[in-house]
């Protein structure tokens, strides 16, 4: 095990997209704390723009992080709303998905900015050091 910054094994993706053929994921589509979808996205018919994600990326709801809106999609799509799209670098996406659910990460993510609409602070969370399995690099 070793201490590493989140920014060393996850990159925040911010490429915007409005491709009409891609499904949209919004907060209301996720079962909080479970990381599962609560509806068939194809039936939504949404055309909102957002951040493009790829299979294996991790969606993390940064607005009111205590609501635990996270998803590990195995499809291409668009994250609509206040999500971080995290792409694993130097680790497996399933590890990153489990990692964001850890008590330590949740603690840091909930040290947020804003009082009425608190949001996790990427600058703070990404610089935090976490105990993770030793890199094989």
Q: Cβ distance 30 to 58 under 8 Å?
A: no
What predicted TM-score, i.e. pTM, was given to this entire model? 0.93
- Which CATH number among 3.40.630.40, 3.90.220.20, 2.70.170.10, 3.40.50.510 corresponds to the domain 2-132? 3.90.220.20
Burial 73-100 (b: 16+ CB within 10 A, else e): beeebbbbbbbbbbebeebebeebbebb
For the chain, the structural domain boundaries read 2-132
Q: How many CB atoms lie within 10 A of CB 29?
A: 20
Encode pLDDT of 20-35 as tens digits.
999 999 999 999 999 9
Query: In the prediction, which pLDDT does 136 show?
Result: 59
Encode pLDDT of 82-127 as tens digits.
999 999 998 899 999 999 999 999 999 998 666 678 899 999 999 9
The SS3 assignment for 102 reads coil
Beta-carbon contacts of 117 under 8 Å, excluding residues fewer than 6 positions away, are: 63, 64
């Amino acid at each position: 095990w070793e201490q590493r910054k989140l920014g060393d094994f996850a990159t925040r993706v911010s490429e915007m997209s409005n491709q009409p053929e891609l499904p949209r994921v919004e907060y209301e589509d996720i079962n909080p704390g479970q990381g599962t979808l609560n509806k068939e996205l194809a039936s939504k018919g949404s055309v909102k723009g957002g951040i493009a994600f790829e299979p294996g990326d991790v969606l993390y709801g940064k607005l009111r992080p205590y609501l635990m809106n996270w998803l590990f999609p195995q499809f291409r799509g668009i994250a609509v709303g206040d999500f971080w799209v995290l792409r694993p670098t130097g680790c497996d996406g399933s590890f990153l998905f489990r990692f964001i659910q850890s008590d330590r990460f949740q603690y840091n993510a909930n040290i947020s900015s804003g009082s009425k609409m608190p949001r996790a602070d990427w600058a703070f969370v990404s610089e935090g050091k976490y105990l993770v399995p030793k890199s094989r690099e």
